């Protein structure tokens, strides 16, 4: 494949993204502090989801935040969107403080984990791990054998993900 790409004028960029994966070969214990609950996309409105995303990635007060509040619900229109795999940890006040989205490929029995985020005031409390583990358990019940994430953040390795392969970008300059 690389030879074909090069013969057509594409050049491989030196940097690469790491893809991590995890086999879903067991049940994952979901542990939440008292007062926190996990809800799915059928139970959380788009405004709360958007605000949770904005806060997790710390872009409140920006033009991007305004756009997110307006358009975040459009994710429901994605062909593979499944509300039961769009998961949120709610704090005792009913705010989204951690979340993960899972995209299920029914044909290949795999899934992609994206997006994942936790509000900075709620990090290191096990909420991200809990919401992902809930998602992994749901995926296992659907017959998914492996889940992938396009990131090499230490957090993902700490919950059991391992390096699968490198993704190189190829560009063609005109």
Average pLDDT over residues 138-143: 97
What stretches of 75-117 show up as alpha helix (H) in DSSP? none
Mean pLDDT of 137-146: 97
- Cα–Cα distance for residue pair 36/111, rounded to 1 Å: 26
Tokens of 165: 């392969």
CA-to-CA distance for 169 and 135, rounded, in angstroms? 29
Residue 48, C-beta contacts closer than 8 angstroms, at least 6 positions apart: 88, 94, 95, 96
Res 51: pLDDT: 97
The pLDDT of residue 148 is 96
Write out the H or E segment, with its range, that includes residue 156. Answer: helix 154-158
Can you tell me the distance from the alpha carbon of 9 to that of 11, in angstroms, rounded to the nearest whole number? 7
Domains, the chain, ranges and CATH?
A: 2-172 (3.40.630.30)
The per-residue pLDDT for range 58-97, each reduced to its tens digit, is 999 999 999 999 999 999 999 899 999 999 999 999 999 9
Computed over every residue of the chain, the mean pLDDT equals: 95
**Radius of gyration in angstroms for the set of CA atoms belonging to the chain, rounded to a whole number:** 18
**Alpha helices, DSSP H only, in 1-45?**
2-7
116 pLDDT higher than 90: yes
**pLDDT bracket for residue 147 (50, 70, 90):** very high
Helices (DSSP H) in 18-126: which residue ranges?
46-56, 63-71
Contact 49, 99 (CB under 8 A): yes
Q: With contact defined as beta carbons under 8 Å apart, do 152 and 20 qualify?
A: yes
């Amino acid at each position: 494949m690389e030879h074909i790409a090069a013969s057509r004028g594409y050049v491989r960029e030196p940097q690469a993204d790491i893809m991590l994966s995890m086999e879903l070969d067991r049940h994952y214990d979901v542990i939440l502090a008292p007062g926190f609950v996990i809800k799915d996309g059928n139970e959380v409105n788009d405004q709360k989801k958007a605000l949770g995303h904005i806060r997790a990635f710390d872009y409140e007060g920006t033009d991007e935040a305004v756009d997110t509040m307006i358009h975040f619900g459009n994710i429901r229109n994605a062909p593979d969107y499944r509300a039961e795999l769009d998961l949120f940890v709610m704090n005792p006040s009913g705010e989204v403080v951690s979340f993960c989205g899972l995209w299920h490929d029914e044909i290949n029995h795999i899934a992609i984990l994206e997006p994942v985020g936790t509000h900075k005031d709620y990090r290191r409390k096990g909420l991200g791990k809990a919401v992902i583990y809930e998602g992994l358990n749901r995926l296992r019940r659907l017959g998914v054998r492996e889940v992938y994430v396009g990131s090499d953040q230490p957090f993902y390795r700490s919950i059991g993900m391992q390096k699968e392969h490198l993704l190189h970008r190829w560009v063609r300059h005109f």
